[in-house]
Amino acid sequence: ELTMFSSEHDKIQFGCLFATFLVWTLTIIPLYVSRRAADGGFNHHTPRMQYNSLTASGLRILGAHVNTMEAFTLFAVGVFVNRAGAGSVVVADAVSIVFVVSRVIYVLTYMLNLYLIRTVIWFIGFVATFTLYVLPFCT
């Protein structure tokens, strides 16, 4: 019997990919609310032009949203690089979980304007992603 997620490692790593995608998706809600509150409500004609009228908190939400998508892309590729290169799945499981937790905390610290903590949390997530790329060379 062949299943898509045949091992616990598959479930953990691809579950973390899905969780990170959900974090990004959930940042759309406060971003949409802040855009509706901006001058003239939500601009469906030229939505990116509206970013100029966002409040400071709206811009932080936008930053969290955009950065999460950027980080998601590198993380997803890292998961596949590690799998293709036969890196340690146990370490990959751990750093994948660290990455997801760091992204949740990152978004919260971004929204709350805790910029020093946010920078440290960003670095933790970056190291987790970087680890996925080097694991095949180390194991």
CATH number of domain containing 80: 1.20.120.550
pLDDT of res. 69? 94
Residue 133 within any structural domain of the chain:
yes
Residue 2 within any structural domain of the chain:
no
Q: Are 21 and 72 in contact (CB under 8 A)?
A: yes
pLDDT of res. 54? 79
Distance from C-alpha of 80 to C-alpha of 61, rounded to nearest angstrom: 29
pLDDT of res. 127? 98
**Which residue segment(s) compose the domain that 87 sits in?**
8-138
Residue 126 within any structural domain of the chain:
yes
Residue 1 within any structural domain of the chain:
no
Distance from C-alpha of 87 to C-alpha of 138, rounded to nearest angstrom: 7
pLDDT of res. 4? 59
b/e per residue, 92-111, with b = 16+ CB within 10 A? bbebbbbbbbbbbbbbebbb
Residue 94 within any structural domain of the chain:
yes
Number of domains in the chain: 1
pLDDT 10s per residue in the chain (139 long)?
556 566 788 889 999 999 999 999 999 888 888 877 777 776 667 767 677 777 888 889 889 999 999 999 999 999 999 988 998 999 999 999 999 999 999 999 999 999 999 999 999 999 999 999 999 999 7
Distance from C-alpha of 23 to C-alpha of 100, rounded to nearest angstrom: 9
Residue 69 within any structural domain of the chain:
yes
pLDDT of res. 98? 98
